[in-house]
């Protein structure tokens, strides 16, 4: 009858065991999680890709488009127009070509109000629609290309526009389309795509008044899927499939598998993360290669920055990928636009077969190669289920103890009350500081430009340095005797907050939660409000926790990335380039949160930084460490 009256019956020994070996259990679970992540790259722990959506009918259609000749003609004409317009999109030429193909042609105007200066930037998108002869324009598929002028620092996309026009010419002649096909050429990279999507759906994703998306004069139905093309030459050696979207969102795995399968069928080398599949007999070498591919995806996804225009579709429930084609850099085969055009045609015609939105395959996954995947179930250690079963083993506590004795003992124990007001004030002020810093970039820019005539990136960078120093010295301003129990409760609240944050982030961006846990959890577990901690360990905690300040971590990571990109540069040159790259990274993260709604900056400053401050207060607590 104990199970019916006391839910804790049978768990006493387990609770005592967990409390006694708490630190060691956390340590082994941390190491086990890292080892499990590394083992996921082994074929034993991942699966071969397959199609869950039978309606796609991949590769079963008779391909009718031969796009090479038309694409070459369009490409030659476009190159001449680009020379006439070296810094902007040749709108008249694009409009004329779309009209010649008898598409429904429209232009879209948008304006960006730069948030840190009183400046405005304008842009235009051009799009044409092939109306479905066998449908009522209730559904649509998008084929898009970001236009890049000759003066752009990014790789040229003129071949992509040529292929898009050639494919539009072919689609216009066919009668089997059940969905509208929208051919979209955007300006200013992701900015133009974001403005077009906001105008199409009538929403604002970022802050009001920054990106004025305007209105669309022509539209179609609900967008089912999108293919973004970034082909950098008329001869292609490999095609890389990009999947990472805004805030770590991913497209449905069926769409990724469809693209990879069509690329392989046309004899084109397929890659993921710019890494082709390798056939190595040595199992260790193969595991290491796939593990590096897996880590590359984890790092890319964790930033929350889209790897292409496709990444902006996911928040609207639209599955999208980018096909990026590269020219041959050394030896190896290459293919013409005949094969690449057949790939695009196969994908679009398979999407045309869909009877409903993608929903059967995975939306949460990791890819160690082009033909293997790790589902969300593989991201959790299987032994966790066995540990859960231990909770139901029914180990009974001593039943000989008299309940009246328990009550009398509880009455005799003196319960020391917590200073709730002080604890709540400390937690509240730490989060107020985080929210204030999150909203401070405009203030930093205004002060820096008015007092010292600093550019935006310098104003924000130096402002963050000042706030970092102030947050480090904040506990010393308020240094006063505190009860040990109050400090312990603050430590418990901070631990619960970091665990809850990691859990919530993992529901959206598992890679970001994984990397954050790897960086912060070991030191956070070592922080304890006990008096017995000696001064040497206390000093180590100070050093490690300062290095784990969010802005310090960001600076170190950018410095390391700069070092990897410039291995032969001297140390001073690396330091200068790293600082400059850090400045730009801070500005871009703030702008991304304002325009696109990227919450990487907001989560870091409004949640992770206050949590860092709470642990920093525990480390510097006078009662917690001083005898």
SS (H, E, C) 73-122: HHHHHHHHHHHHCCCCCCHHHHHHHHHHCCCEEEEEEEEEECCCCCCEEE
Q: Tens digit of pLDDT for each residue in 87-123?
A: 889 999 999 999 999 999 999 999 999 888 788 999 9
- At a CB cut-off of 8 Å and minimum separation 6, what does 133 contact? 175, 176, 177
Lowest mean pLDDT among 181-195, 376-390, 438-452, 498-512: 376-390
390 falls in which pLDDT band (50, 70, 90)? very low
Residue range 235-240: mean pLDDT, rounded:
94
Can you tell me the distance from the alpha carbon of 205 to that of 195, in angstroms, rounded to the nearest whole number?
10
Can you tell me the distance from the alpha carbon of 128 to that of 187, in angstroms, rounded to the nearest whole number?
15
Residue 182 half-sphere exposure, CB side, CA atoms within 13 Å?
A: 29
Lowest mean pLDDT among 2-11, 130-139, 300-309, 448-457: 2-11
Q: What are phi and psi of 351, to 5 degrees?
A: -65, -30
The DSSP secondary-structure symbol of 608 reads I
373 in Cβ contact with 253 (< 8 Å): yes
418 in Cβ contact with 486 (< 8 Å): yes
Can you tell me the distance from the alpha carbon of 198 to that of 205, in angstroms, rounded to the nearest whole number?
7
Q: What are phi and psi of 221, to 5 degrees?
A: -95, -155
Can you tell me the distance from the alpha carbon of 507 to that of 46, in angstroms, rounded to the nearest whole number?
20
167 in Cβ contact with 186 (< 8 Å): no
Could you tell me the pTM of the whole model?
Answer: 0.88
pLDDT at 131: 93
pLDDT at 279: 85
Percentage of residues of the chain with pLDDT beyond 70: 88
The DSSP secondary-structure symbol of 311 reads G
Cβ atoms within 10 A of the Cβ of 267, count?
Answer: 9
Q: Is the pLDDT of residue 591 over 80?
A: yes
Can you tell me the distance from the alpha carbon of 76 to that of 589, in angstroms, rounded to the nearest whole number?
38
Domain ranges of the chain: 57-104+129-207+220-276+303-355, 419-625
338 falls in which pLDDT band (50, 70, 90)? very high
For residue 523, the SS3 value is helix
For domain 57-104+129-207+220-276+303-355, the question of CATH label 3.30.950.10 is answered with no
Q: Which is more confidently placed, 438 or 26?
A: 438
For residue 181, the SS3 value is strand
448 in Cβ contact with 579 (< 8 Å): no
Distance (Å) of CA 27 to CA 14, 141, 143, 243:
18, 49, 49, 34
Q: What is the residue whose two structure tokens read 């009718």?
A: 64
Mean pLDDT, all residues of the chain: 85
Q: Is the pLDDT of residue 140 over 60?
A: yes
Question: How would you classify the pairing of strands 269-272 and 238-242?
Answer: parallel
Which of the listed ranges 60-69, 248-257, 529-538 does the model predict with the highest average pLDDT? 248-257
Tell me which residue of 261, 276, 289, 259 sits closest to 330, measured CA to CA. Answer: 276
Residue range 68-78: mean pLDDT, rounded:
93
Distance (Å) of CA 429 to CA 179, 483, 495, 502:
54, 19, 17, 22
Taking the alpha carbons at both ends of the chain, their separation in whole angstroms is: 48
């Amino acid at each position: 009858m104990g199970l019916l009256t006391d839910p804790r019956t049978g768990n006493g020994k387990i609770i005592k065991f967990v409390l006694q070996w708490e630190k060691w259990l956390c340590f082994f679970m941390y190491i086990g999680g890292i080892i499990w992540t590394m083992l996921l790259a082994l074929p034993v722990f991942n699966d071969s890709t397959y199609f869950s959506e039978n309606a796609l009918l991949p590769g079963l259609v008779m391909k009718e488009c031969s796009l090479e000749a038309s694409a070459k003609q369009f490409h030659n004409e476009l190159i001449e127009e680009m020379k006439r317009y070296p810094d902007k999109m040749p709108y008249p030429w694009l409009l004329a070509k779309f009209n010649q193909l008898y598409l429904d042609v429209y232009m879209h105007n948008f304006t960006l109000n730069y948030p840190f200066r009183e400046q405005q930037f304008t842009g235009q998108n051009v799009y044409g629609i092939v109306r479905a002869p066998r449908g009522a324009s209730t559904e649509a598929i998008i084929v898009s290309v970001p236009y890049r002028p000759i003066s752009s620092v990014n790789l040229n996309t003129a071949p992509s526009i040529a292929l898009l026009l050639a494919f539009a010419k072919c689609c216009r002649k066919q009668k089997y389309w059940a969905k509208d096909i929208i051919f979209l050429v955007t300006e200013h990279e992701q900015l133009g795509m974001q403005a077009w999507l906001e105008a199409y759906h009538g929403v604002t994703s970022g802050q009001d008044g920054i990106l004025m998306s305007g209105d669309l004069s022509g539209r179609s139905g609900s967008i089912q899927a999108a293919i973004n093309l970034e082909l950098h030459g008329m001869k292609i050696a490999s095609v890389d499939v990009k999947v990472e979207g805004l805030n770590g969102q991913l497209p449905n795995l069926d769409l990724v598998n469809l693209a990879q399968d069509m690329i392989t069928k046309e004899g084109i080398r397929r890659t993921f993360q710019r890494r082709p599949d390798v056939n190595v007999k040595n199992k260790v070498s193969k595991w290491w290669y796939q593990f590096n591919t897996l880590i590359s995806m984890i790092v890319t996804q964790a930033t929350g920055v889209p790897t292409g225009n496709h990444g902006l579709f996911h928040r609207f429930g639209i599955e999208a990928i980018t096909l990026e084609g590269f020219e041959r850099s050394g030896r190896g085969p290459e293919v013409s636009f005949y094969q690449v055009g057949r790939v695009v045609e196969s994908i679009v015609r398979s999407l045309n077969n869909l009877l409903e939105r993608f929903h059967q395959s995975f939306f949460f996954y990791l890819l160690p190669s082009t033909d293997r995947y790790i589902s969300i179930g593989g991201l959790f250690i299987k032994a966790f289920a066995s540990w859960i079963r231990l909770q139901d083993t029914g180990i009974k506590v001593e039943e000989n103890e008299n309940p009246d004795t328990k009550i009398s003992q509880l009455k005799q124990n003196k319960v020391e009350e917590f200073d709730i007001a002080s604890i709540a004030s400390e937690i509240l002020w730490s989060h107020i500081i985080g929210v204030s810093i999150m909203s401070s970039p405009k203030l930093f820019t205004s002060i820096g430009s008015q007092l010292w005539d600093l550019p935006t990136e310098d104003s924000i960078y130096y402002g963050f340095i000042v706030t970092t120093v102030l947050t480090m010295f904040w506990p010393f301003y308020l240094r006063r005797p505190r009860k040990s129990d109050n400090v312990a409760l603050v430590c418990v609240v901070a631990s619960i907050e970091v665990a809850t944050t990691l859990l919530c982030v993992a529901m959206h961006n598992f890679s970001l939660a994984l990397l954050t846990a790897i960086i912060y959890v070991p030191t956070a577990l070592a922080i304890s409000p006990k008096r017995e901690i000696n001064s040497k360990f206390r000093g180590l905690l100070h050093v490690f926790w300062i290095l784990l300040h969010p802005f310090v971590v960001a600076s170190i990571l950018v410095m390391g990335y700069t070092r990897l990109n410039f291995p032969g540069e001297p140390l001073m040159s690396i330091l200068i380039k790293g600082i400059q790259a850090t400045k730009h990274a801070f500005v871009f993260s703030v702008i991304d949160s304002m325009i696109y709604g990227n919450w990487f900056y907001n989560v870091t400053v409004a949640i992770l930084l206050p949590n860092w401050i709470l642990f920093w207060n525990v480390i510097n607590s006078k009662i917690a460490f001083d005898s």
